[in-house]
Amino acid sequence: MAVSGFEGFEKRLELHFFGDDPKNVGLGLRLLDFESLDEDVLQAVQCTVVSAVANHYFDAYVLSESSLFVYPTKIIIKTCGTTQLLKSVAPLLRHASSLGLTLTSCRYTRGNFIFPGAQPFPHDTFQNEVVYLEDSLPHSLCYRKASVMPSKIPLALVARVLRFHRSDVVSLQRGPGDGKSGDTAGKEMTEITGIGEINPGALICDFAFDPCGYSMNGIDGDRHSTIHVTPEDGFSYASFECVGHEVWTRVAGALEPLGMKCRSCALDEFPAAGNVAYQTFTARRK
Amino acid sequence: MAAEEGQVVSVHTVDAWNEQLQKGNDTKKLMVVDFTASWCGPCRFIAPFLSELAKKLPNVIFLKVDVDELKSVAQDWAVEAMPTFMFVKEGKIVDKVVGAKKDELQQTVAKHVATASA
């Protein structure tokens, strides 16, 4: 009889590929036409594109539920709420194969859901997620590992990810019926919060949802960053992800003065896939 | 009524580009230039929306420039991310929208159409 609210915790899927002709991968996954991406992949997951931007290295999409990044041989999808992210694996592999690309590694991670009972199959249990994912992957992937990390953070991630909770994300709340578009309100929030200054060299694609919720993707050369905030009272959630340590430490440094305290740090090693670090920040006790 | 009205016109050569700029100058019409690329997924996402916008606004000149095809133009106009929409009036850039953002694009067009007819 628990009251269910919006699930902020994202599920995150990262797939890496190599080309049949590795020297000539070129645009790779970026050649996937938008209709296929939208109708086969995003519809299976149950989300849509709200805004997007690209540079010479990759495509970045802000989704109705988080973000999607498409690199020539890598795809990253993050979705929150009750989306069914793992349903995207099969159509993605099918499309990649039609482009002459073969899967080399797959990483699926998520945090502990705030409202686990609201999640549909296969996300209803960790066990079901593992089985569903294993069934979706080709048998050629030999190193397999599923793990539950300490500090209530199941599974792991390759990029450095920072997670923090705040109940007073006031500046990220839109005024009721403010009449602004999601693009305009998003831009304002990027400015007010100082998110635009985390990496001044990055181009930001942002969006503010009605009545609340903020998403941004940053593109800086071949590196992406992404921030998602769901500021609902009582179950607020925010996440930050980026590639590269320099930017990450700057965000961590920016959080402590806001009253955030690093509560836990978890590190896990994945064969042939590098290390994964998770840090959890909570509001400092008054 | 010219055949190009109500459509997004693809510009493939520097000569054609200069010609379009001149036309924009002469007619004093608002020009919206979509800097796009064949490999850019977000550009494919916004393309149908831009076509619809062009249909609704025959008095605005909509151009499409492929940044690989017209590299020098893209460089001159400092285009780094795709799609980038430049709003041009009488040879001057009056506004810019970076990214496939439907609402922002529509609002920016509306803003400049309003000032043009005022």
> Which one of B42, B80, B102 has the shortest CB-CB distance to A61?
B42
Q: Which of A15, A87, A11 is nearest to A44 (CA)?
A: A87
Catalytic residue (choose from B9, B16, B40, B57): B40
* pLDDT for residue A285: 53
Q: Are B87 and B108 in contact (CB under 8 A)?
A: yes
Strands, sheet with A49-54, edge to edge from the N-terminal-most edge strand: A49-54, A59-63, A66-71, A74-79, A11-19, A101-110
SS (H, E, C) A215-249: EEEEEECCEEEEEEEECCCCCCEEEEEECCHHHHH
Amino acid letter, residue B18: N
Q: What band does A248 get if pLDDT is binned at 50, 70 and 90?
A: low
Q: Are A259 and A284 in contact (CB under 8 A)?
A: yes
Cross-chain Cβ contact A181/B99 below 8 Å: no
SS (H, E, C) A121-166: CCCCCHHHHHHHHHHHCCCCCCCCCCCEECCCEECCCCCEEEEECC
Kind and range of the H or E element at A13? strand A11-19
* pLDDT for residue A155: 39
Cross-chain Cβ contact B81/A183 below 8 Å: no
Residue boundaries of the structural domains of chain B: 8-117
Q: What band does A161 get if pLDDT is binned at 50, 70 and 90?
A: very low
CATH architecture label of B8-117: 3-Layer(aba) Sandwich (3.40)
Residue A196 DSSP label: G
Q: Are B118 and B69 in contact (CB under 8 A)?
A: no
* pLDDT for residue A149: 61
* pLDDT for residue A157: 32
Q: Is A170 exposed, middle or buried (0-12, 13-18, 19+ CB in 10 A)?
A: exposed
Cross-chain Cβ contact A32/B46 below 8 Å: no
Nearest C-alpha in B relative to A50: B101
ipTM comes to: 0.90
Q: What band does A166 get if pLDDT is binned at 50, 70 and 90?
A: very low
Most confidently modeled of A103-112, A185-194, B96-105? B96-105
pLDDT digit string, tens, across residues A101-155: 999 888 888 878 889 999 999 999 988 998 999 899 888 776 677 776 654 444 3
Q: What is the mean pLDDT of chain A?
A: 78
Integer angstrom CA distances of residue B31 from A159, B46, B51, B116: 42, 17, 14, 11
What average pLDDT does range A174-184 have in this prediction?
Answer: 78
* pLDDT for residue A14: 92
CA dihedral sign, ordered A120, A125, A131, A136: positive
Residue B40 has pLDDT above 60, yes or no: yes
* pLDDT for residue A261: 58
Residue A164 has pLDDT above 60, yes or no: no
Among A87-91, A146-150, A192-196, whose mean pLDDT is lowest? A146-150
What average pLDDT does range A31-45 have in this prediction?
Answer: 92
Can you list the domains of chain A with their CATH numbers? 11-283 (3.60.90.10)
What average pLDDT does range A39-59 have in this prediction?
Answer: 95
Name the 3-class secondary structure at A198.
coil
Question: CB of A203 within 8 Å of any CB in chain B?
Answer: yes
Q: What band does A196 get if pLDDT is binned at 50, 70 and 90?
A: confident
Contacts of A68 in chain B (CB under 8 A): none
Residue B11 has pLDDT above 50, yes or no: yes
Q: What band does A249 get if pLDDT is binned at 50, 70 and 90?
A: low
In DSSP terms, A160 is beta-bridged to A242, A277
Q: What band does A13 get if pLDDT is binned at 50, 70 and 90?
A: very high
Q: Which of A279, A14, A11 is nearest to A162 (CA)?
A: A279
Q: What band does A260 get if pLDDT is binned at 50, 70 and 90?
A: low
What average pLDDT does range A82-102 have in this prediction?
Answer: 94
Q: Are A219 and A59 in contact (CB under 8 A)?
A: no
What average pLDDT does range A61-72 have in this prediction?
Answer: 96
